Structure 1
Amino acid sequence: MPPIRNNGVSSLNQARLALGKRLRELRRRADLSGRALAESLSWPPSKVSKLENGRQSPTEDDLHAWTRATGGEAETEGLLAALHTLTVQNIEWQRQLRGGLGSHQTELAALDATTRLFRAFESTFVPGLLQTAEYARARFTQTVAVFDVRGDVDDAVRARIQRQDVLYRQDKRFHFVLTEAALRYRLCPPEVMLGQLDRLLSLASLPNVKFGIVGFPTAYQVAPTHGFWLLDDTRVMVETFSAELNLAGPRELELYRSIFDAMAAAASYGRTAREIIKRVIDDLSGELLPEGE
């Protein structure tokens, strides 16, 4: 297994920090203090510090001004390319979901069609391709409430269920790893979760699906900070509260492959995974039984 070099800092923040480091190097090469550079650009001194330390993303105008002031015009094109990558990584949910939840599911279906190998790690909820209609409805209803987007929940549920046809295509391969916590979080009514757990038992038997669960007693090599999807070896998708990150840099891909391999190695499969699911079903069913039974 490749070494794991990072266990929590988001790739987006890393990219912003890397860009800030390059700006700092230009300033120091020009033998300018942060205050002197800020004064030459009529900026508040705090702006230079924020840009160099990754607490603020620069604009294109900022980069042009910085390279002119430091005599680093030759670096402008490379810095602009880095800024463009940073911008593309962070797609605001409000903009992405503007056309409605159903429309976003249709866009994801187009991506599914071109992907051959799907690797997904989820620490909080069941992946969309494995969700029942009722569980998906609960998830989409929460999305509408949080982001105040167009509430086309019915369209979104239908589109998500249609996307699941890809699971039955023999030219596709899937490797899902979930934490036991994702099976126990109360993100929907108990009866909905029972149906979802039963669905997982059936999907885990598909010949092109590898399904693992990291049980509670497992000692993690890396904290399950957030879920992510690896699509082939070309893209990582990470959902945060404010954005969907689409990461494609070689270092990012290598990092997330390493993390996925660690999670996959820690997971239980086959009969042991089914036993974990059945234990959760038994616990949840016991809560639903009338008192005295």
Structure 2
Amino acid sequence: MPASPSSSVQAARKAIADRLRELRKDAGLTGRALAEGAGWYKSKVSRLENAVTPPSDDDIRRWCAACGAEDEAPDLIAAVRSADSMYVEWRRVQRTGLRRLQESYVPLYERTRVFRTYCANVVPGVLQTRGYATALLGSISRFHRTPDDVADAVEARLARSARVVHEGDHRFALLLKESVLRHRVGDAETMAGQLRHLLTAMALPSVSLGVIPSSAERRMWMIETFTVYDDAQAEVELLTARVNVTAPTEVRQYLSAFREFSRIAVYGAEARDLITTAMDALL
């Protein structure tokens, strides 16, 4: 069972809070004394030490100065920024539109050799057609009320996908629920084109595409869409944010979940039959 998507963030923030407490104790300071030295109310020290409030860069510097441990500040500031990057609200990265978000993934995609993606709601981004991506990103833009740069975002997504799918040493193990084949994104023609593209993509040597039949007996429940990049990082997609999981124990849990879903998925001719049946239902 994968841990809560936010557990990595909570654990990272707690580790920082614990380190702040250790610095205070090593300096022989009470919470009141540290607060006075930093120019705060005592309640702020308690909130920081209990990970109730994430510290700002200035908070870290003041804390370390009060403890006579200024040399600890840079590492702690870096740790705070790393924890913040684990949970990224879509509104923060989409405030200027969707194109830059698509482009921001390029370095990660180019250095990843093995992609493992489980999709519970839409077709994986690397296999989306222009029509499907336009309809999907358009709905995202409207829902999140982002600046309308959908056409540019689609171009960025397609260019990124073309590079990693058709060039370089990249492999894609992709799983999607059968319901994804029937959840219409765009009009019937758009959806039919997307399903035809899936049939074509299945022949690519870099792609392994499995479909989890709705009738499959499940050994575990359906969970949120996620991708594991190599064995180093998992990204979970929520409605309001993306969660970057880097704790090794949690990444292993997502790999374990992927293996469980792989066991109940069908491939080859059986997967093609499910895709073809979904296409026929559009007529």
Q: TM-score, normalised by structure 1?
A: 0.75
Conserved? CA contact 1:8–1:223, under 8 Å: no
Structure 2 CA distance for partners of 1:56 and 1:207, relative to 1, 3 Å? same
Note the aligned Cα RMSD (angstroms). Answer: 3.6
Query: CA deviation digits over 1:241-262, x for unaligned, max 9?
Result: 3333333332332232222222
**CA displacement, residues 72-110 of structure 1 (integer Å, 9 cap, x when unaligned):** 999977765542321122333334234432233233234
Q: Does 2:147 align with 1:150?
A: yes
Q: Provide structure 1 residue ranges, at least 5 long, that are not aligned to the other structure.
A: 289-293
Contact 2:114 2:172 in 1 (8 A): yes
Separation in structure 2 between the aligned mates of residue 128 and residue 242 of structure 1, nearest angstrom: 18
Aligned to 2:207: 209
2-structure distance, mates of 1:179, 1:18: 37
Q: 2:250 aligns with which of 228, 252, 271?
A: 252
Between the aligned partners of 2:14 and 2:68, the Cα distance in structure 1 is 22
Aligned match for 1:100, one of 75, 97, 101? 97
- Once residues 278 and 218 of structure 1 are traced to their aligned partners in structure 2, the CA distance between those partners, rounded to angstroms, is 18
Contact 1:8 1:225 in 2 (8 A): no
The partner residue of 1:275 within 244, 268, 273 is 273
Note the C-alpha offset of 1:13. Answer: 4.2
Q: Partner letter of residue 187 of structure 1?
A: V
Tell me what 2:122 maps to: 125
1:265 maps to which of 255, 258, 263? 263
Alpha-carbon distance change, 219 to 79 in structure 1, aligned in 2, over 3 angstroms: farther
Alignment of 1:31-180 (within 5 A): 56-60=53-57, 80-165=77-162, 166-169=164-167, 171-180=169-178
Cα pair distance change 1:169/1:194, threshold 3 Å: same
Q: Give the number of equivalent residue pairs.
A: 281
Unaligned runs of 5+ in 2: none
Secondary structure of the 1:237 match is strand
Say if 1:236 and 1:253, in contact at 8 Å, map to a contact too: yes
Bigger shift: 138-147 or 109-118?
109-118
CA apart distance, 1:229: 1.6
For 1:111 and 1:42, the matched residues in 2 are separated by 41
Give, in angstroms, the shift of residue 239 of structure 1.
Answer: 2.7
Partner Cα distance (1:280, 1:144) in 2: 27
Residue in 1 that maps onto 2:218: 220
Q: State which of 187, 193, 196 in structure 2 corresponds to 1:195.
A: 193
Distance between the aligned counterparts of 1:53 and 1:241, measured in 2?
A: 28
- 8 Å contact kept, 1:123–1:178: yes
Identity of aligned residues (%): 37
For 1:128, the aligned partner's letter is G
2 CA distance for matches of 1:162 and 1:102?
12
Change (3 A) 1:121 1:74: same
Aligned match for 1:12, one of 6, 9, 13: 9
CA distance, structure 2, for counterparts of residue 22 and residue 5 of structure 1: 27
Cα distance in 2 for partners of 1:216, 1:23 equals: 50
C-alpha change, 1:276 and 1:117, in structure 2 (3 Å) is same
Q: Deviations over 1:33-72 (max 9, x none)?
A: x99x999996586x78876776653445556777899999
Residues 137 and 153 in structure 1, CA contact (< 8 A), matched pair in contact too: yes
Alignment correspondent of 1:233: 231
TM-aligned CA deviation for residue 9 of structure 1: 5.8
